[in-house]
Amino acid sequence: MTENFRQFLDRLRQAGELVDLHQPVDIRHIATLVDQAKTALFFHNVIGYDMPVVSGIIRSRERATMALGCANFAEIERKLAAAIANPVPPKYVKTSPTREVAYVGDEVDLYRLPIPMSSIYDGGPMITAGVVIARDPELGFNSGIYRFIVKEKALTGIDIVTPNNMRLFAQRAYERKEPLPISISIGTHPFEITGSGYRAPLGVDEMAIAGGLRGEPVELAPCATIDLPYIADAFDLILSFEAIYYLPQPAAFLQECHRLLRKGGQLLLSTSNPNWPYFAPGALSVHYPSAPELRRLLYDAGFEKASLYGSLP
């Protein structure tokens, strides 16, 4: 391999473009420190976490050109054009060192990861530089950089509001009433970040464009829990999710309502009656609970006294 992520960090460090910070740092201050810095920053001691954070690796003109082995932006443009014209398909390997530590099922806890707040306008900690890989049964692979907000210990929300290929993949999965499995590779070389950041036409594998930038295949390894690959050179972390975006989660919603209500507070729910002649389900609605189902959901969430009115199926 031409250069892996750790070797790239070493090259930045030797060029004075990466500063190592060993003093304790509050994760809430990382975004501001990166904004104020003239170099990339490697936070070795994030308070409350046992994992480091590196940021700003291609934030400047100097680091961006260094990353792709170019002298200026014009050369980057020529190199990207050559990679698009001469893609190199990825190489599949059986495993990678990243698989040495794996958490599945109830072991998954995103709160253990040092995920900073990137902006005061964000609703929570955001995974911002992960390379996301998904597959459509007819359209093939798509790779891209998408933001993920951490909602719960094993739940994120993906930002695919603007039209893009990943949104199309998710929409097609929704229409098939299937989840859309994705892998997220965090801590990848800028070759992969640049390749996946290019908005390629449908049917074009962005990892092949990343291979064109490298001049050799990107190595992909299979995920342990879903039938998808991830970038084998990922730094320290791989996340595998299913984007279950068409399924409601009434139990989790009611549990959160119960948690937020003050003592003596009340919850009022209103639901459409599917027996009405003009009833039409919402675009993302797939199930309306029966009275026994709704009563059970409320009881399990902690609402022991529930009164139901109206006509439910």
Q: Write down the pTM of the prediction.
A: 0.74
Do 230 and 286 lie in a common domain? no
101-146 tens-digit pLDDT: 777 777 888 999 999 988 888 888 999 888 999 999 999 999 999 9
Do 137 and 206 lie in a common domain? yes
Which carries the bigger pLDDT value, residue 305 or residue 210? 210
75-98 tens-digit pLDDT: 999 999 999 999 999 999 887 776
Look up the CATH number of the domain holding residue 171: 2.30.110
Do 106 and 233 lie in a common domain? yes
Instruction: Output DSSP code: residue 224.
Output: S
The domain boundary residue, chosen from 243, 275, 291 = 243
Alpha-carbon separation of residue 307 from 98, 176, 264 (angstroms): 51, 36, 15
Do 78 and 217 lie in a common domain? yes
Do 228 and 258 lie in a common domain? no
Q: How many domains does the chain have?
A: 2
For residue 245, the cross-strand partners are: none
Return all residues near 253 (Cβ < 8 A) that are at least 6 apart.
none
Cα–Cα distance measured from residue 227 to residue 92, given in angstroms and rounded to the nearest whole number = 13
Do 293 and 228 lie in a common domain? no
- Residue with structure tokens 């595998």? 240
Do 177 and 278 lie in a common domain? no
Q: Return the exposure string of 99-135: e unless at least 16 CB atoms fall within 10 Å of the residue's CB, then b.
A: eeeeeeeeebebeebbbbbbeeeeeebbbbbbbbbbb
DSSP H or E segment with residue 40: strand 40-43
Asked if the structure places residue 24 within a domain, the reply is no
| The pLDDT of residue 260 is above 70 | no
Cα–Cα distance measured from residue 312 to residue 271, given in angstroms and rounded to the nearest whole number = 9
Asked if the structure places residue 176 within a domain, the reply is yes
Contact assessment for residue 301 and residue 250, using Cβ atoms and an 8 Å cutoff:
no
Torsion, Cα of 96, 102, 105, 107 (10° steps): -160
Structural domain range at position 236: 70-243
Cα–Cα distance measured from residue 55 to residue 37, given in angstroms and rounded to the nearest whole number = 10
The domain boundary residue, chosen from 209, 225, 243 = 243
pLDDT at 145: 92
Do 182 and 125 lie in a common domain? yes
